[in-house]
Structure 1
Amino acid sequence: MKPPFLTRTFRRALFVGVALCLNLLGCFSATAQTFAKGGDTSWLQQMEANGYKFYNEQGVEQDCFQILKSKGINSIRLRVWVNPSMVDWVNGHCSPAEVVQMATRAKNLGFRLMIDFHYSDSWADPGQQTKPAAWASHSFQQLQQDVYDHTFSVMTALKNNGVTPEWVQVGNEIPNGMLWPEGNATNFAQLTQLINQGYEAVKAVSPASKVVVHLDKGHDNARFRSFFDRLTANGGKYDVIGLSYYPYWLNQDYSVSISGLQQNLTDLASRYGKPVIVAEVGADCTNQPQNAYDMLVAVQNAVAAVPNGQGLGVFYWEPQGYRSFSGYQLSAWGNDGKPSPALNAFLVTPTAPPPTAPITNLLANPSFEANGATTQNPTAWSTWANNTANQAADKTETGGQHGTYRLTHWLGTPYQASTFQLLNGLPNGTYTLRAWVLNGGGQKACHLYAHNLNGVEKTVALPVTEAWAQIQITGIQVSKGQCEIGLWSDANAGNWCSLDNVEFFQTSAPALSSTGPAAAVTSRLYPNPVTDVLTLTLPTGVGAATVRIYSATGQPVLTRTLTSSPAGQRLNVSGLAAGLYQVRLEGGGRLETHKFIKQ
């Protein structure tokens, strides 16, 4: 008798060979070229078995799948449990046999399929990853065999029914691992081995199926980088990164975290070279149908915006599981059996936003990287506090949103503090201020602000959020050439917030009078790129200007006072390291920024 792993290896090779031959013969038809608009409908079979009916918007009874298809859904996701309870409506069923039956039905109706292996007898998520009862006493080596055999068995049963899933999840929401305690993320080497066994089993039966590794809190870039950096370092095998996104469970509107989701999707696709898919999304479609609709459109657009077609699609979790059956708050179905109008969002064609014009950020050291270490006085920023001791509330520290450092307000006693920049010589016009923030909450006040020194201040409160969120203030009017921007905290002992990657830029200028003087020309700098000497020419009427040059990280590297000359002023930059630099010129009541490349 062959040892289990040897038997498995032989069986794997046999199925890979057969599958590849079938593929070469054209027996497999891929549909991966279109955007996936999906629904996880794992409750549907037991709902139907217990008499639940589904009606279209006109009140006509229809097959639930047909209604979903009429709403633009083209893909179905189904969870599979190992040995579930078959009498518990909500927390049971989803057995391998039931999943095969439902997958076959969905496939015959033209849906694409995602299969979600929980490797449990019931729910698996970040707070619970309970081993199936039949595996409870198994050694780690046997658990690897269990994962392989269970995955192989279900995939084979699907294949025997003519079903080829386009995507297969190995584990459900596993930032903390799966099959605890052996597969806990505290032992990432073992977790990786379990994931790889699932991967190998999927590929042995269906080489074309894409294996998905799936985490929750899809807006939290640090969470995903931490996990997938470790998975990569341990030799983890996967094809697609899956994300869950539920603003409702974050106790915040989607507008707070949608930019974080967008950035995370793009970063993951770039950093790991893998496509991304929102495997679960949900919203309060009963109490806030319009907000839910808007959120679903925004999420689809965020996925569609991932460069190079690496955003695959979006799946709504249990849209049909209406509350009289499930008690689930985020169902997208009414107790009258009709779909929520929020599902009409899947009828919208996802569109990536048009490329935005590059901005000129007028702030120095906007990402707090200039000092290169924790500091109480970050370069280019000023601090105010209600007393000298509370100056200590303001400092930079590691844990930046995208770089190494961030600004943090924190003190063990109550404090009032602001960290700010005062900008002078601004052209009159309209500006936007935006920044990435974290906030532990509890303050009397905590906001980003812009004060134009003409008696008008605009603010936006920092949301309470454990993951970086981008906030902004638009429509800031500058009429006297000055604006102060900053972060303000009126906090209790132990309250904290963080700020990073701050941007302040002009969005429009006042209209020019047709009878007024011609618009002033800007300064010129050349050659660009430059090797040794950079020449700057000031506009007519500007007798002198202060020139400051900053590195790409915001570190000041050169300051000079220049006078106007037809031939221009020459700056020796031969001592600068090769790279991108920003030039700020202040003088004559104006402020300009330019960039140049040092070769």
Structure 2
Amino acid sequence: MKLIKYFFSIFIIITTSCSKNENSDDDVDGPDEEIFYRGMDLSFQSELENYNVDYKDADGNSVELLDFVKSKGTNLVRLKLWHTPQDGQNGIDDVKAYAQRIKAKDMEFLLNFHYSDFWADPGKQTPPVAWQNLSLLDLKAAVYNYTKSVVQQLKAQNTLPNIIQIGNETDSGFLWDYGKVWNEFNDNWVNYAGLVSEAVRAIRELDTENKIKIMLHHSNVEHSIYFFNELEAYNLDFDIIGLSYYPQFQTKDLDLITSKLNTLAETFDKEILMVEVAYPFTLQWNDNLSNYVGSLNQIIPEFAPTPQGQKSYMEWLITTIKNIPNKKGIGFCYWAPDWVAFNGNENTSTNGTSWENQCVFDFNLKALPVLDSFNYN
């Protein structure tokens, strides 16, 4: 009997081992593998859907945007959040509604806190009107309570973000002048770090299963090392370095971009997400607004402003991110790929958009080849 049990045990061990070997390829791509993000910022959808924009596939067939971009490889959607929006867009109700749609498609969700009532970027970081006369101590409490309230609301509807971004392009700090770290406030890092810490504390207290990654966002790859060096002394609790790269505003030297990304990875033990990227497929326009990119001196010489050039640029970018040392490059997020020309409100545009030549749909709203790069390996 003991001999039978012995051989039976050996049989179980062998068959279990074989089963694991047979499924080894599945394990590599299994749920425990770190995801490579192929994202899109679709913050304009809450408004654009009011205009019934007719997005199409490459053959001209109408598509539902979220289903379509998921089928092309998109696995992350970024949404911006304004505190009390000046134009009624991108408030908490908009974010909650679209977050439900993202999660229903089994896609991941990146929440972008601007901590402002309108656009925040390196040149303007205006606190919400409701916070503008607070003491620094009271502002910290407001950041904590507001952050916690937003995350609680998302948690209650089972749409917790996978990534939360604390501030938008905070090269110069945020919540000026309280958390400003620019010009005459260059010695104000302790206040910036203190405000960020309150947002982090609110998130960590609610994220009991430690599922949320926290990101800090800088607008310029070339100059970001200084920013994160300054923060080292404060031991901030965050997981991801978020970066923007728009060639029209930054260096066009591809080797320099690669070098800076590699230095970031080797200097700081953080993941790197290229959280805002885009590239033009033409220098023409499709409305009566001037575009951000409209001349050859704004583009990278290696990539023409054509549909194929736009696709080749993204393939270069994906390869560059994947080659960041120590596997720290975790993906990209294409900014406003859907912001095509339309009759919007005056806060968005007069008769369209300043971005339509950098979208992933052409002027006939047909999908461009760049979408195929979302599955580029």
Q: TM-score, normalised by structure 2?
A: 0.78
AA at the equivalent of 1:115 = L
- Partner residue, 1:446: none
Residues of 2 paired with 1:246 and 1:151: CA distance?
29
- Structure 2 residue corresponding to 1:217, chosen from 217, 220, 226: 220
**1:314 is aligned to 2:332:** yes
1:121–1:73: structure 2 CA closer, same or farther, 3 Å change rule? same
Structure number with bigger Rg: 1
Query: Could you tell which deviates more after superposition, 97-106 or 49-58?
Result: 49-58
- Rate the CA distance shift 1:146–1:49 in 2: closer, same or farther, 3 A: same
Give 1:236 deviation, angstroms.
2.3
Which residue in the other structure is 1:230 paired with? 230
For residues 146 and 179 of structure 2, the distance between their equivalents in structure 1, rounded to whole angstroms, comes to: 16
**Is 1:104–2:97 an aligned residue pair?**
no
Tell me the secondary structure at the aligned position of residue 77 of structure 2: strand
| Cα deviation, residue 231, structure 1 | 0.8
The reply to whether residue 327 of structure 1 matches residue 327 of structure 2 is no
**2 CA distance for matches of 1:33 and 1:257?**
30
1:46, CA displacement in angstroms? 1.0
> 1:126 deviation in Å?
0.7
Deviations 1:107-164 (A, max 9, x none): 1101111111100011001111011111111111111112111211111111111113
Whether the aligned pair in 1 keeps the contact of 2:55 and 2:361 (CA below 8 Å) is: no
Q: Deviations over 1:228-247 (max 9, x none)?
A: 11111133221111110111
Displacement of 1:51 in angstroms is: 2.3
- Residue 39 of structure 1: how far off its partner (Å): 0.2
Mapped to 1, the partners of 2:157 and 2:311 lie a distance apart of 36
Structure 1 Cα separation of the partners of residues 266 and 278 of structure 2: 26
Provide Cα deviations, 1:194-253, integer angstroms capped at 9, x if missing partner.
Answer: 1111111111122321100010111x0xx2221111111133221111110111334x7x
Judged with a 3 Å threshold, the aligned counterparts in structure 2 of structure 1 residues 189 and 77 are, in CA distance, closer, same or farther, namely same
**Structure 2 counterpart SS, 1:99:** helix
Is the partner of 2:100 in helix, strand or coil?
helix
Q: TM-score, normalised by structure 1?
A: 0.50
Q: Assess if the C-alpha contact under 8 Å between 2:241 and 2:271 holds in 1.
A: yes
Q: 1:259 aligns with which of 255, 268, 280?
A: 255
CA deviation map 1:10-58 (0-9, x unaligned): xxxxxxxxxxxxxxxxxxx977622110000000121002222222222
Contact map agreement 1:31 1:112 (CA 8 A) in 2: no
Residue 181 of structure 1 aligns with an amino acid whose one-letter code is: D
Rounded Cα–Cα distance in structure 2 between residues aligned with 1:82 and 1:61: 34
Q: What secondary structure does 1:119 align onto? A: coil
Are 2:367 and 1:339 aligned?
yes
Contact 1:321-1:333 within 8 A present in 2 as well: no
Name which of structure 1's ranges 260-269 and 309-318 shifts more when overlaid on structure 2.
Answer: 260-269
Q: Assess if the C-alpha contact under 8 Å between 2:76 and 2:108 holds in 1.
A: yes
Structure 1 distance, partners of 2:275, 2:177, is 25
Aligned 8 A contact 2:265 2:326 in 1: no
- State the match for 1:149 in structure 2: 145
Gaps of 5+ in 1: 1-28, 350-599
Alpha-carbon distance in structure 2 between the residues aligned to 1:270 and 1:157: 37
**Unaligned residue ranges in structure 2 (runs of 5+):** 1-29, 284-304, 343-351
More relative contact order, 1 or 2 (CA 8 Å, 6+ apart): 2
Q: Which residue of 2 aligns with 1:440?
A: none
Q: 1:172: how far off?
A: 0.6
In 2: Cα distance, 1:109 partner to 1:274 partner: 28
CA distance in 1 between partners of 2:33 and 2:119 (Å): 29
Contact between 1:112 and 1:166, CA under 8 Å: does it hold in 2?
Answer: yes
Identical aligned residues as a percent: 29
Distance 2:205 2:364 in 1: 45
Which of 208, 211, 231 aligns to 2:211? It is 208
Output the amino acid matched with 1:338.
K
| 1:137 aligns to 2:140 (yes or no) | no
Match in the other structure for 1:297: 315
- 8 Å CA contact retained: 1:286, 1:334: no
Deviates more, 1:35-44 or 1:335-344: 335-344
What is the root-mean-square deviation in Å for CA atoms of aligned residues? 1.8
Whether 1:114 and 2:115 are equivalent positions in the alignment is no
Aligned pair count?
309
Q: Distance in 2 between matches of 1:32 and 1:48?
A: 35
Deviation at 1:331, TM superposition (A): 2.4
Q: State whether residues 147 and 197 of structure 1, in contact with CA within 8 Å, keep that contact through their aligned partners in structure 2.
A: yes
TM-aligned CA distance change 1:145 to 1:32, over 3 Å: farther
Greater fraction helix? 2
Residues 33-42 or 256-265, more deviating: 256-265
- 2:192 aligned with 1:191, yes or no? yes
| Residue 239, structure 1, aligned to residue 250, structure 2 | no
Rounded Cα–Cα distance in structure 2 between residues aligned with 1:286 and 1:63? 25
The equivalent of 1:83 in structure 2 is: 84
